[in-house]
Amino acid sequence: MKGVILAGGTGSRLHPLTRITNKHLLPIHDRPMIAYAIEAVVKAGITELMVVSGGTHAGEFLRLLGNGHDYGIDRLSYGYQDKPGGIAEALGLAERFVGGDRVLVMLGDNIMERSIRHIAENFERQDKGARIVLSAVDEPAHLCHLGVPELDGDGRVTRIVEKPNDPPSNYGVTGIYFYDADVFQVVAELEPSARGELEITDVNNYYVAQEAMSYDVLDGFWGDAGESIDAYYAVNDFVRAHGANKG
């Protein structure tokens, strides 16, 4: 299985911190934010990675990460998204790198308390399809800013609703996704959303419609450090006190 870390975007929700740098290069406690995503992927047993970035600061990732060996990466590649086109479009840039393998896709601003290795192992046991990672969210107002799964009586995902006014469950879809090799064909057939982007929720709902979507629920803390200034500092405070990617 290959790993793809998506580290593009304008970071507008973290302005003015991101006016002079990519948000994934901002510090979380004692390391750049992206170091935690890389650590999570490597601890999941994946050592061939691609980092996809964009904008005017993409070269800074090469300066920071180099060949990746200091981070436990055996082979590190870089991709460049030349215009804002959505998460699914950014994933599509990794098609040649991933080849016919399975892929773990992680948004670079996701920070977890616990290791996701067991989730990667669960996905490896799947014959095909996709797997999403959920986190329990107590605040309904927070769910309104996330993708939220609707679950049936047997606990299966029946659809994923993006930024719902009336959330169908109390779980948020984190920015951690596992896909089989068919995902690139799915991406190629997507139509842009109303905001002109290829949406990862549309990819996930394709697998839901094929009854090929599974999920795990994270233990412990999960934070999206790019969600807002308040969220960024909340993640900093948590990591400083408790660490990340443990176990």
Question: Distance (Å, rounded) from C-alpha 7 to C-alpha 207?
Answer: 24
Helix (H, G, I), strand (E, B) or coil at 54: strand
Helix (H, G, I), strand (E, B) or coil at 66: coil
pLDDT score of 98 more than 90: yes
pLDDT score of 197 more than 90: yes
Instruction: Work out the average pLDDT over 234-245.
Output: 98
Question: Distance (Å, rounded) from C-alpha 46 to C-alpha 231?
Answer: 28
Instruction: Work out the average pLDDT over 219-225.
Output: 97
ω before 16 within 30° of 0 (cis)? yes
- Residue 11's pLDDT is 86
- Residue 112's pLDDT is 98
Amino acid identity at 149: P
Instruction: Work out the average pLDDT over 86-99.
Output: 97
E runs forming strands in the chain: 2-6, 27-28, 31-32, 48-54, 75-81, 103-107, 110-112, 130-136, 147-151, 157-162, 171-179, 213-217, 222-224
- Residue 83's pLDDT is 87
Domains, the chain, ordered by start = 2-132+173-242 (3.90.550.10)
Which tokens is 240 given? 């400083």
Q: Please name the residue that has the structure tokens 């095909």.
A: 128
pLDDT score of 84 more than 90: no
Instruction: Work out the average pLDDT over 175-191.
Output: 98
DSSP-H helix ranges across the chain:
33-43, 59-65, 87-92, 95-98, 117-124, 140-143, 183-188, 200-209, 229-242
Calculate what percentage of the chain has a pLDDT beyond 90: 94
Tell me which H or E stretch contains 82: none
State pLDDT tens for residues 120-130: 999 999 999 99
Question: Taking Cα atoms as reference points, which of 237, 226, 222 lies closest to residue 23?
Answer: 226
Q: How many of the other CB atoms lie within 10 Å of CB of 62? A: 13
pLDDT score of 107 more than 90: yes
Instruction: Work out the average pLDDT over 223-227.
Output: 96
State pLDDT tens for residues 9-65: 888 999 999 999 999 999 999 999 999 999 999 999 999 999 999 998 999 999 999
Q: How many residues does the structure list for the chain?
A: 247
Which tokens is 222 given? 């999960």
**What average pLDDT does the chain have?**
96
